[in-house]
Amino acid sequence: MPFRDVGSNVFDQDYSDDEDVDKLNANADVQVDLGDVNDDAFDWKTFWKFVGPGFLMCIAYVDPGNFESDLQAGLQFNYKLLWVLVWATIAGLHIQSLCVRLALSTGWHLARCYREEYDKKVVRALWVVSELGIIASDVPEVIGTALALKLIFGFPTVVGVFLTSLSTFVFLGLQHFGVRKLEAFMGSLVAIMSLCYLGELVYCDDVHVGEVIAGASIPRIPSTTALFIAVSLLGAVVMPHNLFLHSALVLTRGYQLGEKSLKKAFKYNVVESGMALTVTLFINFAVVIVAATEMQKITDPAERAEMIDKPLQNAPKMLNKLLGSAAKGLFAVALLASGQSSTITGTYAGQYVMDGFLKLRVHPGLRAFLTRACAIVPSLTVVLIAGDEDAETLIVVSSAILSIQLPFALIPLVKFCSSSRIVGEAFVLKGRALKATNVLSGVIVCANVSLLLMTLFTSRYVNASFGGIVLGMTAVLFIVGYCYCIYWLLDQPVRQNLKSRIDQRLGLESSNFYNDNDNNNNMNNNIEEEEEDDDEGDQVAMLRTQPSS
């Protein structure tokens, strides 16, 4: 859709331009011929046209925040937290399928549905929370890219943080080549990361396969530190801004509308997302396994402590024994690819969030620069005050913040997909799928509250001093407010009714029209038959009453 001017009050503007279902579908970037919609056979040629959105979405599963959390999990707990990655990826696929479900049924992305559902104040508040989540997701990209530049060129981390702002020009250049070229570029970055970690895993010896299988299949949390890292893994894998992004990327494909067509498109989208997330699961597994295996070979307590404090910066040293002189360059290239790809997808998500919530559109380059500027401030502050060590700690904290923010995107998404008023009977969640989704949402919310409570009671800053007491009281008020906001979102009934829009996309409007005509014709025929019967009855009665001559 073309950019449009924005007045003083973005909420009062008309948005009838995205009400035209057929026009929006026809203006999609890639038009896909689904063939015979009654044929359920899987066609690889058709599937290839759907490949792209999932690989943009999966970038959030392999960003520098993931690498930091993966390295921490492997260095401190060996293979014991692999199960978190497995279940987080499975949960991520299910959640991403909800985004596909919502987009295909309504023709709107998630942020657009927010604007229709809630009043102005709530929309503004949710927009602020979403923007904070995007900024939090950009912090690991800033630090990860800066560390990669330090490893490759020897730049100080502070200089690297400033240089990351130049990545906006990369994004601007990619904008001019179309969505398919952008998807191919992002897919190549994922391929680079996969090859780098595949090389590390191939040369990694002494991997205990039995322990890897046990770690991936047996849920266990050895300590409170493990719980913090586990929730960080969840936040690093299932990112809230990714829900807004994926629901919008699905709409870059256009095809013949109709219930069977959309269900066929849903199948291809979910398979493509599953393929992309399988690749990211392999990458995350490789990072944890290599870190755990190489950590077992380090016997010096001081060296082990340094590895745990700064895993991203010490990863090349750890891999040097494994890959030799190529370790530094290999890891740095993977880290740089991860940071740059995450920057691009984060900027895209920010565009859709701003447009969906506020109906406000800015130039993509300006959007990327503003988001990056907001992320650079805390990153640069930490690097200048505390050095590189706490800069990596900020990555883990950012992942935990994303996990805390996730319910504000997940709960409305689940409510939308479980309401036939929003997605229609053809795509509404029912039965076991709905129960599983509710359980998943409950687990995420409980994990977030547990993380907040654990952080509060174990923090060294909350103590008997005046400042510690004030900080503790502030934290308690924040937790109470957080829980209330979640309860409010859960308690609110779904208000909007998109039945007419869904009927247009599912092709039910025309069938209803013909059904109504058939019903009217049948009714008219019945009336005519009744009138004929009445006339015949009147004639018989007249004959009976006539006297015989």
Q: pLDDT of 95-145, one tens digit each?
A: 999 999 999 999 898 998 998 899 889 999 998 888 888 887 777 777 777
- Among the residue ranges 158-167, 365-374, 465-474, 477-486, the one predicted with the least confidence is 365-374
One-letter amino acid for residue 382 of the chain? V
Q: What angle do CA 233, 65, 212 make, to 5 degrees?
A: 45
pLDDT, residue 43, reads 86
Q: Is the pLDDT of residue 13 over 70?
A: no
Give domain status of residue 480, yes or no: no
Number of Cβ atoms within 10 Å of the Cβ of 394: 22
- Among the residue ranges 321-335, 346-360, 456-470, the one predicted with the least confidence is 321-335
- Higher local confidence (pLDDT), 352 or 549: 352
Q: Is the pLDDT of residue 339 over 90?
A: no
pLDDT, residue 183, reads 75
Give domain status of residue 7, yes or no: no
Q: Is the pLDDT of residue 415 over 90?
A: yes
DSSP 151-163: HHH---HHHHHHH
- Are 391 and 227 in contact by the 8 Å Cβ rule? The answer is no
pLDDT band at 8 (very low <50, low <70, confident <90, very high): very low
pLDDT band at 314 (very low <50, low <70, confident <90, very high): confident
Give domain status of residue 354, yes or no: yes
Q: Please give the backbone phi and psi of residue 357, each rounded to the nearest 5 degrees, phi first.
A: -75, -45
Give domain status of residue 38, yes or no: no
Distance of alpha carbon 463 from alpha carbon 372, whole angstroms? 35
Bridge partners of 253, per DSSP, are 30
Q: Please give the backbone phi and psi of residue 328, each rounded to the nearest 5 degrees, phi first.
A: -60, -50
For range 404-416, the mean pLDDT: 89
- Are 376 and 165 in contact by the 8 Å Cβ rule? The answer is yes
Query: What predicted TM-score, i.e. pTM, was given to this entire model?
Result: 0.80
Query: Which letter, b or e, does each residue of 338-360 get, where b requires 16 or more Cβ atoms within 10 Å of its Cβ?
Result: bbbbbbbbbbbbbbbbbbbbbbe
pLDDT, residue 412, reads 92
pLDDT band at 543 (very low <50, low <70, confident <90, very high): very low
Tens of pLDDT, residue by residue over 43-57, are 888 898 898 888 888
Give domain status of residue 359, yes or no: yes
Residue with tokens 């047996």: 218
CATH code: domain of residue 233: 1.20.1740.10
Give domain status of residue 91, yes or no: yes
Bridge partners of 30, per DSSP, are 253
Q: Is the pLDDT of residue 59 over 70?
A: yes
- Higher local confidence (pLDDT), 493 or 338: 493
pLDDT, residue 496, reads 86
Helix (H) or strand (E) holding 30, with range, is: strand 30-31
Domain of 212 in residue numbering reads as 57-457
Give domain status of residue 358, yes or no: yes
Query: Which letter, b or e, does each residue of 179-212 get, where b requires 16 or more Cβ atoms within 10 Å of its Cβ?
Result: beebbebbbebbebbbebbebbbeebeeeeeebb
Give domain status of residue 159, yes or no: yes
pLDDT, residue 14, reads 38
For range 409-427, the mean pLDDT: 91
Tens of pLDDT, residue by residue over 259-289, are 889 999 999 999 999 999 998 898 889 888 8
Average pLDDT of every residue of the chain: 77
Tens of pLDDT, residue by residue over 185-218, are 777 877 777 777 777 777 777 778 888 899 999 9
pLDDT band at 368 (very low <50, low <70, confident <90, very high): low
For range 449-475, the mean pLDDT: 76
- Domain count of the fold of the chain: 1
pLDDT, residue 255, reads 83
Number of Cβ atoms within 10 Å of the Cβ of 493: 7
For range 287-301, the mean pLDDT: 81
- Higher local confidence (pLDDT), 192 or 77: 77
